[in-house]
Chains A and B, each alone.
Chain A
């Protein structure tokens, strides 16, 4: 493999990995033949190392628990936002008023989400205050910057939505769930082309914001080398339990929609990026299942924290 290709492939690895292994890996690549298989193998290695960056290495058990809870809650938020906007203002809302089981599942998700929010606040508020106190005392601006990332991203998303809606003469908010579908867009809305561009920008901002927030939670925890409060066990159980309940509610809602309102469920009313409600629901369900796994795993670790 020539030097330039070896340098390029090595440059794809995370910076921290490169600092430790970059030089020797470059030499190994130069000793290696430049086949498609070996380049593909390096790409796989790059992906693996970047995924490890999101994992919770080099942390105490309580830090891992909080990070997993954070990931779980953010995934549940993503799934919940997607489901809410997929269903809002569609005939499925009427179907829910006619079928108790359908409404019951929806209410389960709603109430469990309030419970989850309360548990997250109970976990996050003491940690945020402890982190701010520590950061101010130890003059750690890096910690304060990371803490500020989630609210700043939220503000940017909100400003973008409000700004774009005003730009569209308040006729259409740039939501990726209202771009196109089995309905005729009002004449006052911006053109389909504009709706696609603005909707995709919103989706990228929301997705990037959630990933950025997940990274900021992880890095804040990794950099917080001060004792974290150990009284988080009950809120962690409530959070994990409520996310599991939400996942069950979302699964049940989809199954009953299939049973009671099949045609509407498979129509393209408010799905993400013009997809059907079914496809959008599948996306939300996957996020809720992942969220439940992360949150339960985090709660288990909270109970192991005593043996740290």
Chain B
């Protein structure tokens, strides 16, 4: 990817206590990992998965960028709702990003426990 759009926002104490995490494009990619979903289903799934409720503007900002980058693609509409699915490139990018996060989290947690 040419430009990183990652944002990790920890805005309040209560949010940091429950491990609030916000990287909308990554959350959208992760939500589509188990199959196509439309916007509303993505918002609910991301909330279940990460505790982060994306606003409609944020979600469509991420969808616009991910589609431009060829990481997701739209499917035929179902009752006026447009589902999206991961492309092959999207799946590769998601795997690479999650692997990096996994390594990062493992090292971070190990350091915390060693304290």
Which residues of A are in contact with B by a Cβ distance under 8 Å? 17, 21, 23-25, 27-29, 31-32, 37-38, 40-46, 48-49, 57
Give the docked Cα–Cα distance between A23 and B60 (Å): 12
Q: A57–B3 Cα gap in the complex (Å)?
A: 12
Quick check: is B57 within 8 A (CB to CB) of the other chain? Answer: yes
Contact call A27/B80, Cβ cutoff below 8 A: yes
Q: How far apart are the CA atoms of A264 and B41 in the complex, in Å?
A: 62
B18-61 contacts to A, CB under 8 A, are 38-40, 43, 55-61
Given A21-B64, A28-B39, A44-B58, list of 20 further CB < 8 A pairs? A23-B82, A24-B77, A25-B39, A25-B60, A28-B81, A31-B40, A32-B40, A32-B43, A41-B56, A41-B57, A42-B55, A42-B56, A42-B57, A44-B55, A45-B56, A45-B57, A45-B58, A45-B61, A46-B57, A48-B57
Can you show 10 pairs from A to B with CB atoms below 8 A apart? A21-B64, A23-B82, A24-B80, A25-B39, A28-B38, A28-B60, A40-B55, A45-B57, A48-B61, A49-B64
Please report B residues at the A interface, Cβ cutoff 8 Å.
38-40, 43, 55-61, 63-64, 68, 77, 80-82
Q: Are A29 and B56 in contact (CB under 8 A)?
A: yes
A49 touches B68 (CB 8 A): no
Complex Cα distance, B64 from A28, in Å, reads 14
Q: Which residue from A29, A41, A57 sits with its C-beta under 8 Å from B58? A: A41
Contact, CB under 8 Å: B81 / A45: no
Which of chain B's residues have a CB closer than 8 A to the CB of A25?
39, 56, 60
- CB pair A27–B81 under 8 Å, yes or no, is yes
Minimum CB distance partner of B62 in chain A:
A45
Contact in complex: B55, A41 (CB < 8 Å)? yes
Given contacts A24-B80, A49-B61, contact A38 B55 (CB under 8 A): yes
B74 CB → nearest A CB, Å: 8
Query: Which single residue of chain A is at the shortest CB-CB distance from B41?
Result: A31
Residues in chain B near residue A57, CB distance under 8 A: 68
- Output the nearest chain B residue to A52 by Cβ-Cβ distance: B64
Query: B59–A28 contact, CB under 8 A?
Result: yes
CB pair A23 B58 closer than 8 Å = no
Residue of A nearest to B84 (CB): A24
A residues less than 8 Å from B59 (CB atoms): 28
- Which 9 A-B pairs have CB atoms at the shortest separation, nearest pair first? A45-B57, A41-B55, A28-B39, A24-B82, A42-B57, A31-B40, A41-B57, A27-B80, A45-B61
The verdict on A43 contacting B57 (CB below 8 Å), with A17-B64, A28-B40 known, is yes
B53 to chain A, nearest CB (A): 9
Given A28-B39, A57-B68, do A45 and B60 touch, yes or no (CB 8 Å)?
A: yes
